Amino acid sequence: MGIEAIIARINDDAEIEARRIKTEAQTRADEIIREGEKKADHEYQAVINAGKREIRQLSAQKRSHVLITARRTVREMKESLVSRCFEQAAEELSTVRNSADYPGILKHLIQEGTESLGSGTITVSVNSQDYHLAEDILSGMRESGMIISLSENPVSSIGGAIISSNQGIRVDNTFESRLERYRGLLLFEVSTILLGKEQTQNE
């Protein structure tokens, strides 16, 4: 097998691995959202039912206050639910480094970051536990002519990497940062669930 064929095979395998990792990540994100929907439905119904019972017991003058309190409770519940989902996700991600999939995941995150930065001198920062693995990954990338080095300054992260260019542009692909990027999306999903339930209750 010639060198060109070997390189082509490596690229094909890398693309397949990246697609698989992306699919698994999306599947897990969907599972977290579904779990959140179940929790939101159960807790929301409990809040609404309790609120209804209280409203029936109170005079008309106090109903407005109860409704305001119920809305505040739902908002706090929504924020609490999102926080719990992210805590659970963070706990699960903290174990990924010890899995057989982690080398492929780290490689994908580094490659994704370098593609975003384009050409030029690139520096990769990882947790000290990932030094040897990251160096192996970067060695393979250098063979393609990329100017890329491993920073001697470790980052405090449960996984992933920070990729920086010599122009000062930085791509934070640590697990924590990528998880935080999903917070807004998850908050929107939970809001949609709760608002939908509230509209149904008001009809």
Name the maximum alpha-carbon separation found in the chain: 85
Q: 25: which 2 tokens?
A: 């990540």
106: which residues sit within 8 A by CB, 6+ positions away? 126, 130, 133, 134, 137, 159, 160, 161
User: Tens of pLDDT along 53-64?
Assistant: 776 766 666 667
Helix, strand, coil tally for the chain in percent (to 5): 75, 10, 15
User: Tens of pLDDT along 29-70?
Assistant: 667 667 766 776 777 788 787 777 776 766 666 667 767 887
Return d(Cα 141, Cα 109) in angstroms, integer: 13
User: Is pLDDT above 90 for 161?
Assistant: yes
Q: What structural domains does the chain harbor?
A: 3-96+179-202 (no CATH), 100-178 (3.30.2320.30)
